[in-house]
Structure 1
Amino acid sequence: MRKLGTMTVAAMLAFGLPAVAQDASTVVATVNGTDITLGHMIAMRERLPQQYQSLDDQTLFEGVLEQLIQQTALGDQADGLSRRGELVIENERRALAASEIIQRLADDAVTEEQVQEVYDTEYGGAEPTTEYNASHILVESESAAQDLIERLNAGEDFAELARAESTGPSGPSGGELGWFGQGTMVEPFEQAVQELEVGEVSEPVQTEFGWHVIKLNETREQSAPPLDEVRGEIEGQLQMQAVESIVSSAVEDAEASRPETQVDPAAIRNDALLD
């Protein structure tokens, strides 16, 4: 049976013992004199795939702790890291340090004033735009489209005709395209829609996809979205700009140089060089 220098928090709870005060330095196990802390466990849990994050707390706790105990025990049997391992650790440390400073500076770079300024610039003076709800029947020839118009004029149902005759992906849903704004559809289709009255059916319209018979179902005026609706998008935009500025500034300030020696680019695929 494995002997641990410290009883885990989960074990204490299982035995009805009071849990210790918990912070990142709380020791949850000791393996060969090496402490495993709650902080180690949290850091490992953060990087687990999503399916493990949904486990119940007890199962997750025991699983992560067992993994750390196994890794620590195995690590004690190793005679240091291989050169490959040392390089991996150096890269991981470099990447982690870069990620943390970028995240910290990017978060600090986004202020409420900046968010409001971007919103006012992009949406403040925007005029309401018209959105259209339309249906269509797509066929291969103008004569087929014209025949459909005649059948519609004779009283046949548009949606039923679309289900029976349309070659487009919207056919099974009665030709419904839902709501769309300007610039969404190809130009001949969009122009035809804009010229229709609600409930009206178009003449045959040709596009690169074939011939369309279009029915305008409804229109609506779409105003600028409220700030809270686009806040995430704006903050992401500001953070991206901040990151680009941070990276550029860091590289410009660094004393970076490349030796004259030419390295064959194919060498990057030669894993044997690490052995």
Structure 2
Amino acid sequence: MQKTLTFLAPFAIAASLALPVSAQEEVKADTVVATVNGKDITIGNMIIARATLPEQYQQLPPEVLFKGILDQLVQQTAISQAYTDDLPKRVTLALENERRQLIAGEVIEKSMAKEITPEELQAAYDESYANAEPTQEFNASHILVETEEDALAVKAEIEGGADFAEVAKEKSTGPSGPSGGSLGWFGPGMMVPAFETAVAELEVGGISAPVKTQFGWHIIKLEDKRSKEAPAMEEVKAELETQVRQIKAQAMIEELTAAATVDRTAAEGIDPTVLSNIGLLE
């Protein structure tokens, strides 16, 4: 089967060239930038081509991109014009699938762009946060060592009056050791279960017994704790708007699909492995 060609070579060449700038009063999507055997190439064609480039090429300077993309489109147009046979089935099917996908995407985009009413936003907020209980957040430090014996020795040293942060700097094998073992603030689910359980059982200022996790043995000090209330509407407004739009778009998809006359009986009995048979497209 013919492999898909890529036309990225012009960008390597264009990187060393400067594009002359011409003064234009107004540039539109249908502004023609080149013709190939009478076939127009427009700014709109170039914009779409840029949008589909790999990320590393999109970072190139605009003048490099402009020349590279125009070279690419000129080459593709000239090559495509040289094709005089009927299009292979794989190409017509690919074009059909791409057209379907782009049109469906446009419908979803329009649905997602619809205005969200204050009532919809409030309902989403209430569903997510109205009955949410305050969560506990903890500020803790720890000293990580390899064995339980080492952990017991560290605990005894601290209980004997040694400064927790200084012992952490000296003896902790964890990445937080150089900063005195500080882990900062964290909430439920952010630490492994055994560690989180031990922290939750401590009073502020308390030192834990040795705690074993997959990382080793910990001695933990609870520096502080606080209750985190539900966020204000404004803090999560953008997140809720996206959530509402996604829910409405999904509902639209399900509604349109349910309303369509769909008959899948022809697919019954077909071996699913046939999807790997590229030879059927030849």
Instruction: Name the structure 1 match of 2:61.
Output: 56
* Matching residue within 246, 260, 272 for 1:254: 260
Q: CA RMSD in A?
A: 2.7
SS of the aligned residue for 2:113 comes to helix
Instruction: Name the structure 2 match of 1:237.
Output: 243
Query: What is the CA-CA distance between 1:177 and the residue it aligns to?
Result: 2.1
SS of the aligned residue for 1:108 comes to coil
AA matched with 1:241 = I
Query: What is the CA-CA distance between 1:191 and the residue it aligns to?
Result: 4.2
Q: Deviations over 1:152-189 (max 9, x none)?
A: 12233323433554455544554322211234445554
Gaps of 5+ in 2: 1-18
* Correspondences of 1:1-275 after superposition (within 5 Å): 13-14=21-22, 18-79=23-84, 80-108=86-114, 110-124=116-130, 126=132, 128-139=134-145, 142-166=148-172, 168=174, 170-171=176-177, 173-186=179-192, 188-206=194-212, 211-258=217-264, 259=266, 262-275=269-282
Q: Deviations over 1:112-167 (max 9, x none)?
A: 43223322442345554432110122445554433221111223332343355445
* Change in 2 beyond 3 A, CA 1:61/1:125: same
Asked if the contact 1:119–1:234 (Cα under 8 Å) also holds between the matched residues in 2, the reply is: yes
* Change in 2 beyond 3 A, CA 1:20/1:70: farther
Query: What is the CA-CA distance between 1:82 and the residue it aligns to?
Result: 1.7
Provide the TM-score with structure 2 as the length reference. Answer: 0.80
* Change in 2 beyond 3 A, CA 1:19/1:188: closer
Provide the C-alpha distance between the structure 2 equivalents of 1:215 and 1:124, rounded to a whole number of angstroms. Answer: 33
Provide the TM-score with structure 1 as the length reference. Answer: 0.82
AA matched with 1:175 = G
Gaps of 5+ in 1: 1-9
* Change in 2 beyond 3 A, CA 1:153/1:107: same
Segment of structure 1 superposing worse, 184-193 or 128-137? 184-193
Q: Number of paired residues?
A: 262
Provide the C-alpha distance between the structure 2 equivalents of 1:58 and 1:50, rounded to a whole number of angstroms. Answer: 17
Asked if the contact 1:109–1:242 (Cα under 8 Å) also holds between the matched residues in 2, the reply is: no
